[in-house]
Amino acid sequence: MFKTVSLNFRPDDYKSLEIIKNISELLSRKSIKFLLPDYKILHDGELEKFIADENDYLKSPDLIIAIGGDGTFLKTARMFLEQKAPIFGINRGKLGFLTEFSPAEYESYLVKILEGDLITADRNVMEAIHNKNGNRQSLYFFNDAVISKGAFSRAIQIELHVNDLFLNKYSGDGLIIATATGSTAYSLSAGGPIVVPDANDVFIVNPVCPHSLSIRPIVLPAASTLKARTLTDMTNLLLTIDGQEAIEFSAGDDLMFRKTDKKMKLILHPEKNYFSILREKLNWG
């Protein structure tokens, strides 16, 4: 079923090399083309022959493998967003809500997946847009977009509109705009609700350390268009995307958040469900 596989991992993760070697041998036996990124730790070894041209690596695969934690999975999803291929996540991180397959079990499941026996789920891809005097900068996110005050200790005020209707003025350390997928990430640490990913079409608006006991997270339809503006005049304001990319902005700049027609397709574990993963990762029950 699959003809070309691209694999991504953390560039300094030497412990992943043995897994990658095993995968390369498995794919070779099945005459499947295997592509690796041009990372330094792959040079001067038997895996070097699989290093691919960047364009070929990013645009050729019909299956993608990510080895690492959820951060690596999200980075991989961003790299291959236009490819629309499913992503198989092998967990070498800590929690691993997206990387559902352990290093001890991945091989038997990968064999089945290569034969076409797989379960996939589509997750929404959201867009964060920074607009400053008509100059727009756009980034996609899967987990969350966070408005924060950088290194300053004083509170910031953020005004938020939903579909051009005023919702609230938040005062505190910042504001998290999370997806259902990201409800178990930063938003959860900030007291936000866990939203089952099947309820894909939502935004979670979660204030960080609000300076009012009446301020609580709110769940909004993903079809909503959110517009935020920071009212506090300070420098070093940041819009951080999935904890990996950041845009510096100024007070008064417009920030917009909306759903796109793009999807992140991940391969689900056939013998686990979301609730069993929650119990395992959060030590419930």
Residues 26 and 111: beta-carbon distance below 8 Å: yes
Catalytic status, residue 56: no
Look at residues 76, 73, 72 and name the one whose alpha carbon lies nearest to residue 61. Answer: 76
* Residues comprising the chain, all counted: 285
**Cα 1 to Cα 84, 111, 112, 128, 219, distances in angstroms:** 15, 11, 11, 35, 39
Residue ranges in the chain assigned as alpha helix (H): 17-29, 54-59, 70-79, 106-114, 186-189, 274-282
Annotated active-site residue in 12, 13, 70, 261: 70
Please, how many CA atoms are within 13 Å of residue 195, restricted to the half-sphere of its CB? 27
Strand order in the sheet with 218-221: 218-221, 202-208, 174-178, 144-148, 237-241, 245-249
**Cα 197 to Cα 49, 118, 139, 178, 251, distances in angstroms:** 39, 18, 22, 12, 33
The helix or strand, by DSSP H or E, that contains position 122, with its residue range, turns out to be: strand 119-132
Torsion 41-43-45-47 (CA) sign: positive
Q: Which residues are catalytic?
A: 70
